[in-house]
Amino acid sequence: MNTLLYAGTMGGGGAQQGNPILSLLPFLAIILIMYLLMIRPQAKKQKEKQKMLQELKSGDEILTIGGIYGKIEGLRESEGILIVKVAKDVKIHITRSAVAEKLVNKSVVK
């Protein structure tokens, strides 16, 4: 029994050590895939939304994140507030960041 234990601890025939770079390769591949599939598209989408919010002007029809459709009647640039007409003689004040999307070719508010 002692002979077996002693022979197992001797050099030669032990497990080979792999290249440390090859052992990190699967983790690097997972990080790259996550970047390409999740992080990059999200950043692109956020950049497009920021551009859309900056380009809003009077007369644009919008949908707010609360689900309210309206037409921009005025802007207060210094405060970042939009004056939105939601119905006849009904106007609300919202922040730019409350706009979900700009409506194109959809006349909602008369």
The per-residue pLDDT for 2 is: 58
- Is residue 94 classed as helix, strand or coil in its secondary structure? strand
pTM to 2 decimal places = 0.63
**What domains sit in the chain, N to C, each tagged with a CATH number?**
57-103 (2.30.30.100)
pLDDT confidence of residue 79: 86
Residue 80's pLDDT is 87
What is the DSSP-derived secondary structure letter of residue 12?
A: S
pLDDT per 10-residue tile (average), the chain, 110 residues: 54 64 89 91 94 92 94 90 94 94 76
